[in-house]
Amino acid sequence: MKRYAEIRRRSQTKSYLTGYGLSLLLTLAAYWSAMARPARGWLLLLLLAALAVVQLAVQLRFFLHLGKKSSPQWNALVFSFMAIVVFILVAGSLWIMKNLNYNLMNMPPSATEKTIIKDEGISR
């Protein structure tokens, strides 16, 4: 029994080291992408965002032990709920504020509408 516990602890230290190695690798990959710019514009931002999401998954899995059998299921549930709240908060703010810029333009509503249609590439 004691031996089993010892093996489990060792494997946990190993899991921490794996997580650390992966997070360092991802950080360096993200830094290299931002500085050497293998892609341009939206593609580069998308690449950086993807690396951050993988990094988040590594941190949650190896350090915060989310989604493991041993951790309480409630933690994962609250985390999912907060992820939705965070998404609505950030995406909603950006959506509203981007449109607010249009509403502050010094032109009549009909001209604003034409500008939005042109900017967003809407075809009617």
Partner 1 sequence: MNRPTSQAINSPVPVFAFWVYLMSDLVLFASLFATYAVLKDNTFGGPSGAQLFNMPLILLATIILLTSSLSAALALQAARLGNQAGTLGWLGLTFFLGAAFLYLEIAEFSKFVGEGHGWQTSGFLTAFFTLVGTHGLHISLGMIWMLLSGVHVLMRGLNRHTALRLGQLVTFWHFLDVVWIFIFTIVYLMGVNQL
DSSP 3-state assignment of 115? helix
If binding means CB under 8 A, how many residues of this protein chain bind partner 1?
44
Q: What angle do the packed helices 2-36 and 41-62 form, to 10 degrees?
A: 170
Could you tell me the smallest distance in angstroms from the CB atom of residue 119 to partner 1?
Answer: 14
Query: How far is it, in rounded angstroms, from Cα 110 to Cα 98?
Result: 18
Q: Which is nearer to partner 1, 72 or 109 (CB)?
A: 72
Q: Which stretch binds partner 1 (CB under 8 A): 59-67, 105-113, 114-122?
A: 59-67
Query: How far is it, in rounded angstroms, from Cα 59 to Cα 53?
Result: 10
- Asked if 52 interacts with partner 1 (CB under 8 A), we say yes
Could you tell me the smallest distance in angstroms from the CB atom of residue 4 to partner 1?
Answer: 14
> If DSSP states are collapsed to H, E and C, what string results for 40-53?
CHHHHHHHHHHHHH
- Asked if 44 interacts with partner 1 (CB under 8 A), we say yes
Q: Which is nearer to partner 1, 82 or 117 (CB)?
A: 82
Q: Which is nearer to partner 1, 76 or 116 (CB)?
A: 76
